[in-house]
Chains A and B, each alone.
Chain A
């Protein structure tokens, strides 16, 4: 991609966010950027190694509750440390889920991760002395070098910074030795093993990296919404995340960004349609899946190829 294209893309993204702020509000922009981090993180798992996770709302919840508890019990701690804590706890759980998932393939991984999402919800309900159970808990604003990030504007810059960092690191990962190893595993496990790529190590690594990103996103989610409860992290949300990655285009980071943006905007915009929201949303996703087998990035690629002749 040339520099000109890249500048144009970033400018287009910025313009899109500006438009969204005007129509649906800055809160939705923040939520969208949080979901971008999740979709890019999930893509590391799904797109790079082909393991479908239907339980990423679980990792999001873990990150969110860690950040909320850190804020409550260590209020002086900076936002960087809180994000790191949220990502790390989630990543450790990623190992716990990733190891047994090694013995599973395809849809069985999806089933195992789906169960993980349910278990997390149940655990939050049972640990109500810490989590507030079904009543949920309020989340204190994060602090950045002593400054409390209270407003949507302040939170926007935080979420934007993490989203950009996520996109940059994930793109670099894709182009590194690790990224190529993951892709090799997706295409053929046997061939990858033959050239000395350790399947258990890299498949678990993909889970860990993905869970880390999603855990961080969870912390951001908690800050943005300022209130969390198990109702926020339903199975539906996990499925939405999978849809974002598939709709964007498996394995493409640009695609994940587009997928997250499209589904979030659609979901929020349709809130005004009341009873018809779920129907229109479902139909739109089905149509996109049928019309765009390679996702949105496939569409852009095809358009680019045609432009170049």
Chain B
């Protein structure tokens, strides 16, 4: 019966003249695949935006120089949205309706990403690995997300502190907006589950330059650890202030994207001993072969860009996207690519733990490892940490 239906399908396709067009998916020709994105080439996130794009372009040029994927070169179209949602929507409609891209790759930021997702879902255009960590994109058929959600990150850090370090008095300095409150809320929930409370919490306004009152209060609170849910500027300010008043008893812990080299540079060398949850190996110093390859490819194709977490992100997730294209085969369609991604299985990448997707799981990474700043670098002090089935699990790092 099934076979008969299959033959019927082939016959119907032949009659409709579709057979020679098999694989004639939007944005795919005999020798090219067109991808696009809307990114921050201007606006508040211009540095992460342009660096992500540098990593993406470096890898795509590398792929094209090595013959492309199944005989197809990858072409791209990028537009600037300046972190404005209205411009992100305009760009996305232009990419889908006029440029006719096959898929959208790595856009950035909560507002510009959330603004375009309903449209892409409606048009059935897949969106791969937007740079953002809110779990609101969970469970969308045409969206694949990238790194560990911010709430999961906080969960991992809190549990590690409680279970592995025996800490009890944990506080937080958070940015006074939805972003910061989100970390505060997750911390509260985690501690309450263990019968504890947030020992002290202080908020900092966005873009604040003076954080001395908050630091003074936290220093007096007798904490074991203090999370910093801040952006690099005020985050570095906290480290400087702590060094100034000699606040050493409490472990300071950077949260989310704050665990970044830029934060250390801004703090001017007073960050020694700070902990954080890292999602990546050290982009500049990691001796892993796959990391060396990344630095070589970046240097060859985008020589103006020093290795950092943002172009590593662009590079790594473009590579993962290309792995998906490879697995989808020569007969490339959007739904085919999604199916291929979902059934790709665990595949070693040499940089982070293997990403594996399924029909109900479109998230690439759900773990991280603790690092400590030693000699101006983030040095690992734990294995890979994840919360699976409600339990903190630790697995060894790649060597």
Contacts and interface: CB of A to CB of B under 8 A. Distances in A.
Contacts of B84: 231-232, 234, 237
Interface string B5-46: 000000000000000000000000000000000110110000
Interface string B80-98: 1111111101110110011
B136 interface: yes
Interface in B38-88: 38-39, 41-42, 50, 53, 77-87
A118 to B, nearest CB: 11
Contacts of A229: 85, 110-111, 114-115
B86 A31 contact: yes
Contact of B114 (A25, A136, A236): A136
A136 B111 contact: yes
Contacts, number: 107
Nearest to A125: B177
A202 interface: no
B178 interface: yes
A2 interface: no
B283 to A, nearest CB: 22
- Identify whether the interface residues of A are mostly helix, strand, loop, or mixed: helix
Contacts of A271: 38, 79-81, 87, 90-91, 94
B179 interface: yes
B115 A136 contact: yes
Given A27-B93, A125-B177, A134-B178, A277 B80 contact: yes
A126 B91 CA distance: 29
Given A31-B86, A227-B85, A229-B85, A134 B179 contact: yes
A267 B273 CA distance: 46
A136 B90 contact: no
B358 interface: no
A156 interface: no
A265 B86 CA distance: 14
A7 interface: no
B178 A128 contact: yes
B118 interface: yes
A232 B86 contact: yes
B86 A221 contact: yes
A272 B41 CA distance: 10
B89 A134 contact: no
Given A135-B178, A227-B115, A229-B85, A274 B80 contact: yes
A277 B42 contact: yes
A172 interface: no
Interface string A102-116: 000000000000000
A27 to B, nearest CB: 5
Nearest to B175: A134
A271 B86 CA distance: 12
A225 B85 contact: yes
A25 B100 CA distance: 13
A268 to B, nearest CB: 6
B134 interface: yes
Interface of B: 38-39, 41-42, 50, 53, 77-87, 89-91, 93-94, 97-98, 109-112, 114-115, 118-119, 134, 136, 177-179, 181
24 contacts: A24-B94, A25-B98, A27-B90, A27-B93, A128-B181, A134-B177, A135-B114, A136-B85, A138-B114, A152-B93, A229-B111, A229-B115, A231-B109, A232-B85, A232-B111, A236-B82, A268-B87, A271-B91, A272-B77, A272-B80, A273-B80, A274-B78, A275-B80, A278-B42
Given A271-B91, A274-B53, 17 more contacts: A24-B90, A24-B94, A25-B90, A25-B94, A25-B97, A27-B89, A128-B178, A134-B179, A135-B136, A225-B115, A227-B111, A229-B110, A231-B85, A271-B79, A272-B80, A274-B80, A275-B80
Interface of A: 24-25, 27-28, 31, 125, 128, 132-136, 138, 152, 221, 224-229, 231-232, 234, 236-237, 267-268, 270-275, 277-278
